[in-house]
Structure 1
Amino acid sequence: MSVAEDRAAPARADLRFAVIGAGMSGILAAIRLEEAGFRNVEIFERESKLGGTWRDNTYPGLSCDVPSHVYRYRFAPNPDWSYRFSPGPEIWEYLNRVAHDYGIARRVRYDTEIARAEWDDGVWKVTPKGGETEIFDIVITATGVLRDPVYPDIPGLEDFEGPMFHSARWDHSHDWRGKRVGLIGTGSTAIQITSAIAKEVGKLSLFQRTPQWVVPVENPEITEREREALRKDPKRMDDLYEFLADRFQNTFARAVVGDKEELDKVARACEEHLATVKDPELRRKLTPDYQVACKRLIMSDTFYREVQRDTVELVTEKIERIEKNGVRTADGRLHELDMLVCATGFEAHKFMRPMEVVGRGGHTLEEEWSEANRAYRSVAVPDFPNFFMMVGPNSPIGNFSLIMISEMQFDFIMQLVDRIASGEAREVEPTREATNRFNKAIQDAMVNTVWVAGCSSWYLDKNGNPAMWPWDFERFEREMQAPDLKDFRLVA
């Protein structure tokens, strides 16, 4: 199987690559490196299976909020998606199948967490936790964004005597059907869970800190007839990919970065959808006080229907503490529960941490990022030669297909790798001047985006600044087409 255009074998096919992470981006990197003729590619994965967030998240109702036929590798179209927005298990199966088809799965070193990577004497010394140090020429991190769960800082959380777990660590040994379930959080995960379990629980207590804007997006089943047509004519899948990508990029994606007309359309859709909640008090509780899309927009045409069931209670009183048999709210009421689920998000700005990365002259990435996570075009950092990131700082994770983003970033990275493989350079890194210039442009452009409208969200870094891509998709495509070598330090 081939994913790359015909190209001459690299002059230095012996280059040693460490790919850190075997989720969506790591699988992509490993496949593309092998297709380019590199054979010394080691893939390190801290867990016992590949798949990243689609491996970790198995909660009821899990699905992607990007259309199925654009959430896939361009080189591996899939005619068999069952819904417009794929269920999580299908995405994991897809990633797993692609990794096996391309011979990557058997080459992953599972249960191997990288503790340290140090640039020393022109090479990267990579040390797994509890393992031996190994030598690599190039390091590519593909550690993802939504991987380390955050539990709520609520007194008594460990005192609860029933099953208690994070949504990203769903414990399937406990059946929620007919039970009194507490669900902390009202982000996209909690809303998907609510839609999936509301009709079968004994009671669902949904603890809401902040209401969310919900846009009504239907998720129809893709019929067998439609799937068969795609199997028979692969070009239809390519056409569908292009159509969906264009729709995605030129509607919502434009809305969040300053297109007022598109944002107004989204706002009207959300407001009209909210109006379908019949009870005025419940509707009031579900009404946000911030601009549409300031937080990650929730896509669901079922949540408002399910939250109005008699078996569901939306609790807006602040949680005071967790007790052995339930949740005590600030009004003194004890919400008795059989099971407690924390749908409270992830540490979205950790990147490859806690891995220690040491660059030229002993300069650490922790020192480099002491004030904020900053990179050149999201993929590289000055003073860290031959070190590249997929889905690094300010990648457009909030408004595009992440697989599409990773493919473009990898193409950009490969053009820099080619400089090393051809013998033109031994070391490649962005200059500090170019990196500062790029990040200054990001800061200046961010004022036009919806993310500075005043709400709190996981899009914001520790300083309260949006860690996002502030421009449209066309700008990202241009940025990723080719490196400007004037912005790089190349050492021959």
Structure 2
Amino acid sequence: MSSILDASQALGLELPPRARAIPRAPGVGGDVRVITPVGPPERIVRPETDPDPMDNAEDRKIFHLSPPPVYRTPNPRELDVVFVGSGISGMTFGIMSQWRLKNVNVVIYEKNASFGGTWFENRYPGCRCDVQSHIYQFRFETFDWSEAYAQWDEIFHYHSYVFAKYGLSRLVQFRHAVVGADYDEERAKWRVTVEKTDEVTGKKERFERECDVLVNGTGVLNRPKWPDTPGAELFKGELVHTAQWDESKDSVDGKVVGVIGNGSTGIQVVQSIGSRVKHMDHYVRTPTYMQAYLEGGVKLSPQRRGQFRDPAFTRQFMRDTYMNREKYWVMFTSAEHKLNKLVVKRALEYLEKSVKDPELRAKLTPHFAYGCRRPIFSDDYYPTIQRPNVSLRREPIKRFWEKGLVLDLGDGREEMRELDMIICATGFAANWVSKFMPVRGRERRLLADDWASHPEAYRTLTVNGFPNYFMILGPNTPPTHNSLIISCEQQCNYVMQMIHALQHNPLIKSIEVKLEAQRAFAKEAQDWLKTNSVWNVDCGGWYRYKNGYTVQWPGPALHMIDSIHSVDWRHYSVEMWNDPSSYSMHTPWTFKALDKRELRDDELTIQAAKL
């Protein structure tokens, strides 16, 4: 079994004092986990000498993955591609591009000092993945995980090993933040503005880079969302967001702490620091369903861990688990579905068994369908919330004051809570746009303006008015029930089909999804989601916008993967440098459209039941 490589060894990073430090190797400093020893990969895998690691025929069949696109000419047109972000999407695209793209200059810009995205930025107390470790990994690179649900630092070190083994340092430039992108219609070029930060002095310098194709892989969970409660500037204590946690200075020991939010992050923080604080208030607006961890809990028995050390066993586990989760997807079609009711029953039984006080139990009881908010797994939250030094507060937060928070008790009454530290576990701005990276398409259209009320894209991947621009894990991607890494692979391969199309004929100026195709997909998806899913009510989750627009996919993960198996050229406009009639797209790329029949409720139910 391969060992992982410490990030500093893999990349030779020397971070300035003000930058977030590369985490220490897991297992150091009293950590009881037994981690695979760190060390370099046996060798660097290269496309010149090694087969495509993602091209596994059996996996293609099981996960419905597209085959690698094939060049039909020995000398395809040279292109420049800029990819933004080196999280899971960037790493997937970077690895895949080395085998599936020819004559393409790929550069990946990363704003941080290291790769990893979410698992580099998030390191709050108790931070761990809420998806089982052995399906939250690249299917072509298994790993000897120490726990069934890995903590952030072990995930980061796994990524460091993958990063080193597949030579991604050849493509990625760190401390390079993309701060703007403008499409030049006349030249069919994207002008990308990049801000480079000197690793020693911290000095920032901007430059422009042109490219033919721009791929945004920044995802959605990377822009911290602060509470909209007024008066934050008045608070004199420590105010911190979990996504900006600095373990070198953010200490909770012996303090009176308030935690705002009860998604996965808020739950993990509360159960992690309950025994360390003098007192803690957990502020919860909407309770959510909770279950005990699967696979017998967070820990792996020596016997179970030994089984997972066999790559063949792990790969089969990944396949079986993924397909089982696809079967269970049908529970999200209705609160009245028997499977949804069964899971609600089990979650409430777990609550009743764990919390004896009926008043507290009532405060923790949700009143919506299972899955409307992201399901949470925890073995420790219920015991923590019943500690004598921990309080659950359901009253609305009215405002900040200099010493803490003011609660609205109703009938004009208020309660002023004094706190040393307020931790905002309030998630991320799930709008797929960033004020720090304005994207302008045709006629200087700003994507953020188009998406002011909600983000609308064609099958998660691209937007009308923004030619040769693609997204990985864009709007409507989030799978509630399954690992997103397989979906990420399929989306990357779809973009590479587009790049191949641009390369095959130098007369092609740009490829752009038709507005009618984008709107037709959005309408069919929203119509289905509003009438046939558990996300059609406001339960406080981030999948649904205030205007009712839902960013879930209208079907199971394999349904999405099938819908982007190949490019349906009927849905795209191909702009030519000269006579538009001089070239037409050929059938090898054609795939059946995601039409109205495929989005019917009975079709989806039947498909899910047959999986």
TM over 0.5, shorter chain = yes
1:1-80 alignment runs, 5 A limit: 1=45, 2-5=52-55, 11-12=75-76, 14-38=78-102, 40-78=105-143, 80=144
Q: Is 1:293 matched up with 2:375?
A: no
1:187/1:10 CA distance change after superposition, 3 Å? farther
Q: Distance in 2 between matches of 1:256 and 1:414?
A: 32
> Is 2:544 the counterpart of 1:460?
yes
In the aligned structure 2, how far is the partner of 1:28 from the partner of 1:406?
A: 7
Q: Say whether the 8 Å CA contact 2:511–2:572 is kept in structure 1.
A: yes
**Structure 1 residues 244, 353: CA separation in 2 closer, same or farther (over 3 Å shift)?**
farther
Identify which of 183, 191, 208 aligns with 1:125. Answer: 191
Query: For residues 145 and 398 of structure 1, what CA distance do their matches in structure 2 show?
Result: 14
Task: After superposition, give the CA deviation of every residue in 1:14-65 in whole Å (9 maximum; x if it has no partner).
Answer: 3211001111101111221122244511111122222111111101111112
List per-residue Cα deviations over 1:295-352 (Å, max 9, x = no partner). 2222223211221111211112222333333333234433332222111111011335
Larger relative contact order, structure 1 or 2 (CA cutoff 8 Å, min sep 6) = 1
Residue deviations 1:176-220 (CA, integer Å, cap 9, x gap)? 233222111122111111111212322211112221221222423
* Contact 1:206/1:312 (<8 A) preserved: yes
Q: 1:161 to 1:426 in 2, by over 3 A?
A: same
**Secondary structure in 2 matching 1:94:** helix
Instruction: Indicate how the Cα distance of structure 1 residues 202 and 367 shifts in structure 2: closer, same or farther if over 3 A, else same.
Output: closer
Q: Against the structure 1 CA distance between its residues 201 and 370, is the aligned structure 2 distance closer, same or farther, given a 3 Å change threshold?
A: closer
The answer to whether the Cα contact below 8 Å between 1:52 and 1:144 also exists between their aligned partners in 2 is: no
What secondary structure, in the 3-state scheme, does the structure 1 residue paired with 2:257 have? strand
Q: Measure how far apart 1:290 and its partner are.
A: 2.6
Aligned to 1:197: 273
Counterparts in 2 of 1:158 and 1:401: CA distance versus 1, 3 Å? same
| Deviating more after overlay: 256-265 vs 242-251 | 256-265
Mark the CA change 1:74 to 1:13 in structure 2 (over 3 Å): closer, same or farther: farther
Question: Which of 261, 269, 278 is the aligned partner of 2:346?
Answer: 269
Q: Which amino acid aligns with 2:178?
A: I
Aligned amino acid, residue 128 of structure 1: V
Contact 1:43–1:107, Cα closer than 8 Å, also in 2: yes
Match for 1:440 among 523, 533, 540? 523
Identity between Structure 1 and Structure 2 (%): 33
Match of 1:311 in 2: 389
Q: State the AA in 1 paired with 2:365.
A: T
Summarize the Cα distance change of 1:183–1:362 in structure 2 as closer, same or farther, 3 Å threshold.
closer
Q: Which of residues 506, 510, 527 is equivalent to 1:427? A: 510
Deviation of 1:477 (Å): 2.4
Give the deviation of 1:358 after TM superposition.
2.4
> Do the aligned residues in 1 keep the contact of 2:406 with 2:417 (CA within 8 Å)?
yes
Give the aligned partner of residue 498 of structure 2.
Answer: 416
The structural deviation recorded for 1:375 is 1.3
Q: Which residue of 1 aligns with 2:317?
A: 240
Measure, in 1, the Cα distance between the counterparts of 2:400 and 2:569.
56
Equivalences for residues 250-265 of structure 1 within 5 A:
250-251=327-328, 253-258=329-334, 260-265=337-342
Does the CA contact (< 8 Å) of 1:82 and 1:222 recur in 2? yes
Question: Are 2:192 and 1:115 equivalent residues in the alignment?
Answer: no
Q: 2:444 aligns with which of 356, 362, 381?
A: 362
Report runs of 4+ in structure 1 exceeding 6 Å deviation. none
Distance (Å, rounded) in 1 between the aligned partners of 2:448 and 2:123: 32
Q: Give the whole-Å Cα distance in 2 for the aligned partners of 1:328 and 1:400.
A: 39
Distance 1:319 1:240, change over 3 A: same
Shift of 1:464: 2.7
Deviation at 1:399, TM superposition (A): 3.0
Q: Is the 8 A contact 1:69 1:244 kept in 2?
A: no
Alignment partner, residue 472 of structure 2: 390
SS in structure 1 of the partner of residue 535 of structure 2: helix
Residue ranges of structure 2 left out of the alignment (5+ in a row)? 1-44, 46-51, 56-67, 196-204, 577-611
CA–CA separation in structure 1 for the residues paired with 2:313 and 2:380: 30
Q: CA RMSD in A?
A: 2.3
Q: Which residue of 1 aligns with 2:42?
A: none
Q: Is the 8 A contact 2:81 2:107 kept in 1?
A: yes
The CA distance in 2 between the partners of 1:347 and 1:396, in whole Å, is: 14
User: Is residue 18–residue 44 contact of structure 1 (8 Å, CA) maintained in 2?
Assistant: yes
Cα pair 1:351 1:392 within 8 Å, conserved: no
Indicate the SS of the match to 1:221.
Answer: coil
C-alpha distance in structure 2 between counterparts of 1:126 and 1:174, whole Å: 36
Match of 1:97 in 2: 161
Residues 440/206 of structure 1: CA separation in 2 closer, same or farther (3 Å cut): same
Task: Please state how far the C-alpha of 1:397 moved relative to its aligned partner.
Answer: 3.8
2:179 is the counterpart of 1:179: no
Distance, in Å, in 2 between the alignment partners of 1:427 and 1:473 is 29
Q: Is the partner of 1:133 in helix, strand or coil?
A: strand
Three-state SS of the structure 1 residue aligned to 2:134 is helix
Deviations along 1:434-479, whole A, 9 cap, x unmatched? 2122112101211201011342321122523211112123311211
